[in-house]
Amino acid sequence: MAKPPAKTPGKSPGKTPAKTPAKAASQPGVSARQAKIDAARKANKVGPNKIMIGSVVAVVAIIAVVAGVIINSQASKSAVSQGGKALPAGVTAMGRGWVENASVVKAGAPTVSIYEDFRCPICQSVEQAFGSSIQSLAEAGKIKLVYHFKTVIDSHDGSDNSQQAASNVLCAADAGVFWKYHDQLYANQPPEPGTFSNAQFTTFAKDSGLSGAKLTAFQSCATAGKYLNYVKSTDDASYKNGITGTPAIFLNGVPMNYSSFATADQQPDPAAFEKAVLSGKLTAAQTDQTLVKAKAKDVS
């Protein structure tokens, strides 16, 4: 194998197109044309153009992400805009808490603000421990009871079932059976991950004693999702104020460490709970230190 005497640059041997001296000598015209063709071929490299493909990929990627943002923001909007925008009785603006016992509350009663999600298991435990205390204090007007409904579990599973449950309990409140509906939601709480069915929502209303025109009114309120936007607004407002989880209970704006109300054998102690609530003040041990920075300022 004869080595060509050409002065090929050492670093890139064999890369130059075939340009044998023999050919060049015998057919100078053809060779010049061939060199031009080769040069042209090299300039517009046969095969895909990296810059063009890169631009297409970049544009497609940007469109995909922007479209994704639009789809997601529309989806999260339509989840609520499908529902009604009604405010519960006595609530003046979106995001504010709803006073459950406005008609009976006595002057100077301490304010108890509860942030709850009907599908949250710890909310259920707290309800079982102190629910009847809260209810009797509220019905006697000894506390001002403010509810802020939250949808924490919805943000875990992507459903709007907690939101629906809260909207429906407000429909039940319109019909005058708030507590009965409230208790049934907790008594029949679906184990995680699970949702209430629409049939269950209706059964709870019937079992709360609604029938005839009242049941029809409840049904249309539930079907329309009358308070879905309001529930979304209380979840957002409380989240912005640092109340990101459930349950949370505030007494006159101070976060309560509800697990501190326990007997020596670690059972819930409703008597101690009621005593602290009626005093309107919490000791350091009864205060939830992790929530002290949270603002319960949306307490209405």
Partner 1 sequence: MSTQGDHRTVAPDDVEDHAAYAHRLRDRHPAAFDAVGLLARLVLGVVLVVAGALKMGNPVGAARAVQGYRVMPYDVATYVGYALPYAEIVLGVLLVVGLFTRIAAAIGGLLMLAFIIGISQAWARGLTIDCGCFGGGGQVAASQTKYPQEIARDVGLALCGAWLLWRPRSFASLDRALFRA
Considering beta carbons, is residue 126 or 221 the nearer one to partner 1? 126
- Minimum CB distance to partner 1, residue 158 (Å): 3
- Minimum CB distance to partner 1, residue 175 (Å): 29
Is residue 202 within 8 A of residue 168, CB to CB? The reply is no
Considering beta carbons, is residue 143 or 296 the nearer one to partner 1? 296
- Minimum CB distance to partner 1, residue 2 (Å): 11
- Minimum CB distance to partner 1, residue 153 (Å): 10
Considering beta carbons, is residue 26 or 290 the nearer one to partner 1? 290
> Other C-beta atoms within 10 Å of 216: how many?
11
- Which chain residues interact with partner 1 by CB under 8 A? 3, 10, 13-14, 47-48, 50, 53-54, 57, 61, 64-65, 67-69, 72-73, 75-76, 79, 151-152, 154-158, 239-240, 244-245, 290
Is residue 234 within 8 A of residue 113, CB to CB? The reply is no
Considering beta carbons, is residue 134 or 153 the nearer one to partner 1? 153
Considering beta carbons, is residue 32 or 75 the nearer one to partner 1? 75
- Minimum CB distance to partner 1, residue 50 (Å): 5
Q: What are phi and psi of 13, to 5 degrees?
A: -75, 140
Considering beta carbons, is residue 95 or 100 the nearer one to partner 1? 95
- Minimum CB distance to partner 1, residue 126 (Å): 14
